[in-house]
Amino acid sequence: MSQVNKVVLAYSGGLDTSIIAKWLTDEYGCEVVTFTADIGQGEEVEPARAKAEAMGIKEIYIEDLREEFAKDFVFPMMRANAIYEGEYRLGTSIARPLISKRLVEIAKEVGADAIAHGATGKGNDQVRFELAAYALMPDVKVIAPWREWDLLSREKLMAYAEEHDIAIDNKKKGKKSPYSMDANLLHISYEGGVIEDPANEPEEDMWMWTVSPENAPDEPTYLDIGYEKGDIVSINGEAMSAATVMEYLNKVGGENGVGRDDIVENRFVGMKARGCYETPAGTIMLKAHRAMESLTLDRNAAHLKDDLMPRYAEMIYNGFWFSPEREMLQTLIDQSQEFVTGSVRLKLYKGNVVIVGRSSDVSLFDEEIATFDEDDGAYNHKDAEGFIKLNALRLRIAAKKRK
């Protein structure tokens, strides 16, 4: 085991990372610095300070990163309409590079020679955390306890906690939590428990952010979403910051049963995994952004973006946010948003997001040409004949030659 003097731990204050804090001290004989990020998980993060102090931690970082997360990570991803394997809105994936970025920055500030995280050896998060860290601090040592220790069951973790007097919040001490959950401004995810079997329907009481579509209000909720250069800047005429936009859309979307997904996805490490997700804000944002682009983005530019989007989404899913290829694509995507400005009107109704209108001062929709009524010569119908014949030329030649 190589010498480590000081390590910065991504610390949630939960059972796993509390055990890791103690384990690092015992196994590596090093000083532990904790870092807890508020990225909109909906829980108080300040109690993590008391837990860290109780374990003798001297340097404790607790930071509100909601605005940075929304503005610099989620919003750029939304400009690309990114979605992995046609369904997953990348809620966990997009949060990891920000956490790694701060881990590395804090490591440099305090003179640490290592960082640590609580991701398991079976999941994607270990890859995401570490790829980001190495991109930003090439020589950093990464400690991943789940790949080193033998505490590979809930029971062993609980026994370790009791042996070392590590506080456990769960009043039902020893009872296995039914789901592994992860939350931030973009989503909340559920894995394990009864949904580990892809054949089982999720239990209704599992969902925390959304009402069921069946129990959603019988009257629709209308929203007017304002855009500037591909980003949401207002809702119903009220200017909002990036994080406030997402908080508001999570609330109103959840109330209308919007954003539930049940997915079997292909993890980067090679296995298939079933996860359930609530992504109210992300579901609304994706639908609204595509509507805004439909009015303001050139056809071929839009099609090129759609061609590239799966690769962009895969880069984020696999942990390559800080890669040159993602940054290259981001430049292209951001350039495409120069005139994606205007407003989209939509209604939320029993789990559905329905676009009912869109407008823009830089709209490419020309009513004079598109009209089904008399267009006063704006469009010459006879031009279509040559257009069709030229496009049919190769088909006609092939058909004649192959008879």
12 noted as active-site residue: no
C-beta separation of 272 from 264 below 8 A: yes
Has 177 been annotated as catalytic? no
- Residues near 232 by beta carbon (within 8 Å), at least 6 away in sequence: 75, 225, 226, 240, 242, 245, 285, 288
Could you give the 3-state DSSP secondary structure of residue 262? Answer: strand
Q: Tokens in use for 182?
A: 């992860």
Closest-CA residue to 186 (of 63, 280, 77, 50): 280
Active-site residue, 125 included: yes
Q: For residue 295, what is the enclosing H or E element?
A: helix 280-296
Catalytic residue among 16, 18, 189, 326: 16
Query: Hey, is 86 helix, strand or coil?
Result: coil
Question: Choosing from 66, 79, 89, 96, which is the catalytic residue?
Answer: 96
Of 49, 72, 154, 180, the active-site residue reads 180
HSE toward the beta carbon, residue 161, CA cutoff 13 A: 21
180 is catalytic: yes
Exactly one of 18, 93, 125, 231 is catalytic; name it. Answer: 125
Q: Do residues 283 and 259 make contact, with C-beta atoms less than 8 angstroms apart?
A: yes
How far is it, in rounded angstroms, from Cα 3 to Cα 206?
Answer: 44
8-state DSSP, 84: B
Which residues 6+ apart lie within 8 Å of 281 measured at CB? 185, 186, 245, 246, 247, 248, 249, 250, 253, 259
As a whole number of angstroms, the distance between CA 163 and CA 143 comes to 23
Which of the residues are catalytic? 16, 96, 125, 180
